[in-house]
Amino acid sequence: MKFLRVVCVPALALLSQIALAAEQPGQIGAMQAIFDFCGKVDSSQRARFDLEAKAEYGGLTAGRIAALHKSSEYQRGYNLLSSVLPNLTANDAMSGCVALVSPKKPVKLGLEKRS
């Protein structure tokens, strides 16, 4: 069980960031599965997860979104994550989902001038 906690919680956060950075249908499907799962785990944040999910489709028309949802690659990504996420413990799932919607801090690259 510790293995699941050590691997799955960071993987949840990492997968969400990978899916956010890409526009591949499978990755968008995986991201949608994560947002749907988190909406079930933390219903008090469901509206926020829905907003985050809608942001994935920014600039797409309703027709293009519908076509994307019908694609086999989208379905494969969605189904893959939907089958894995329920295996997380409640605490691990909640931790991963909270990390997903926590305010993002800017990443410092260490390139600042030093005095």
69 contacts 7 by C-beta, under 8 angstroms: no
**Is residue 23 in a domain?**
yes
- Which range marks the domain in which residue 42 is found? 2-101
39/12: higher pLDDT: 39
In sequence order, the 6+-apart residues with CB closer than 8 A to the CB of 28 are 19, 22, 56, 57, 68, 74, 77
The alpha carbon torsion through 13, 106, 104, 73 (nearest 10 deg) reads -50
3 pLDDT band, cuts 50/70/90, is: low
On whether the CB atoms of residues 92 and 9 are closer than 8 A, the answer is yes
Are 30 and 15 a contacting pair, CB within 8 Å? yes
Structural domain includes residue 113? no
Q: Looking at the domain assignment, is residue 63 inside a domain?
A: yes
Question: In the prediction, which pLDDT does 20 show?
Answer: 46
Say what percent of the chain tops pLDDT 90: 37
Q: Which residues of 57-84 are buried (b: 16+ CB within 10 A; e: fewer)?
A: eeeeeeeeeeebeeeeebeebbeebbeb
Q: Is the pLDDT of residue 108 over 50?
A: no
Residue 75, pLDDT above cutoff 90: yes
Supply the mean pLDDT for the chain. Answer: 78
Domain count, the chain: 1
Which residue is listed with tokens 């050590």?
A: 6
pLDDT at 42: 87
114 occurs within a structural domain = no
Assigned domain for 87 exists: yes
Does 18 score more than 70 pLDDT? no
